[in-house]
Amino acid sequence: MSLNINEEINEIIEHLKKRKQQLVKEVSEEFNELENMEENMDELLTLTVKAFEKKEGNAEEHALKFGNNLGLTWLEARDLDVGIRQVYEVRRSIWRNLKQIMLELEVHLETSLIIADIFDEINDKIIQAYSTAYIASYKENLDKKEEEFLTLSAPVVPILEGMAILPIVGGIDESRAERLMRNALYEANQRELDYLFIDLSGVSYIDTMIAYHIFKIVDSLELIGVKTVLSGIRPEVSHTMVSLGIDFKKIKTYSTLQQALPVFIHL
């Protein structure tokens, strides 16, 4: 890089530093609907200057951290595509001001291209980190909500001392089966249960995989001394189980919970 180009880049940096507060104010007012805009603009211009000054590693690391924080704080406020569009709008606004500085200084074309490359690279890093953080945080929130749903969909309801009901509604996949088992074992231990009634009246379909998961839950409860009673196996489900060769003979079963409860309550 020639001395002349280095000097021009230094001039651009100095002008950008002098205009920093004015740019922060102008761009913040232009995008005043975005929270913490003034603070974010100040940081964005700071790391842009760092990039132009070629402080090795500092600007890139700063850009990734800035984009990551932006992705985390904007998650609840806007969709990913809206957030990226707004980041690009701010980027264009800053670039417009940079071009104005370069026109005023009448810098060489090569200098302009170098400035453009650095500016694009640093902003691409911000977009990359923003998108990655947003998606990771979104997935984490989704996993939490799924966990909450699975917990709520596997309630162990105590009815008498030593007895409780686990009503199951909907399908059972591996993830939900694991949650059901953990919840059943935890509640059975905490409540010192002798009997757990697993009510399947809300399960419209049972295949070999679902039956396997139910057997696992029953076997696990048996290991800690809890007897399991199955109720609510619907006629069409029972027919399917027979056709699949599924054998529940080792487990006490009743067609309804109302039939099962009196038998054990008087024990």
* Tens-place pLDDT, residues 135-176: 887 777 777 766 655 555 568 888 888 999 988 877 777 777
Residue 35: its pLDDT value, please?
Answer: 65
3-class SS of residue 169:
strand
CA 55, CA 83: separation in Å to the nearest integer?
28
Residue 53: its pLDDT value, please?
Answer: 84
CA 149, CA 151: separation in Å to the nearest integer?
5
Q: How confident is the model at residue 75 (pLDDT cuts 50, 70, 90)?
A: low
Mean pLDDT, range 61-84, rounded to an integer: 71
CA 110, CA 224: separation in Å to the nearest integer?
76
Q: Which residue has the tokens 């924080």?
A: 69
The pLDDT tens digits of the residues spanning 213-255 come to 888 888 899 999 999 998 887 777 677 667 766 666 778 888 8
Angle at 108 between CA 88 and CA 125, to 5 degrees: 25
Q: Is the pLDDT of residue 89 over 90?
A: no
CA 48, CA 54: separation in Å to the nearest integer?
10
Tell how many helices (H) and how many strands (E) occur in the chain.
9, 5
Residue 192: its pLDDT value, please?
Answer: 92
Residue 102: its pLDDT value, please?
Answer: 92
CB 183 within 8 A of CB 154: yes
% of the chain beyond a pLDDT of 90: 15
CA 127, CA 63: separation in Å to the nearest integer?
9
CA 250, CA 253: separation in Å to the nearest integer?
9
What's the whole-model pTM score? 0.53
CA 220, CA 215: separation in Å to the nearest integer?
8
3-class SS of residue 163:
strand
- Using alpha carbons, select from 251, 193, 247 the residue that is nearest to residue 225: 193
- Using alpha carbons, select from 125, 91, 108, 107 the residue that is nearest to residue 23: 91
Residue 38: its pLDDT value, please?
Answer: 79
Output the six-digit token pair for 29: 């007012």
The β-bridge partners of 196 are 164, 228
CATH of 157-265, picked from 3.30.750.24, 3.65.10.10, 3.20.20.140, 3.40.50.300, is 3.30.750.24
CA 130, CA 4: separation in Å to the nearest integer?
36
In this structure, what is the dihedral angle of CA atoms 161, 163, 167, 173, given to the nearest 10 degrees?
A: 120
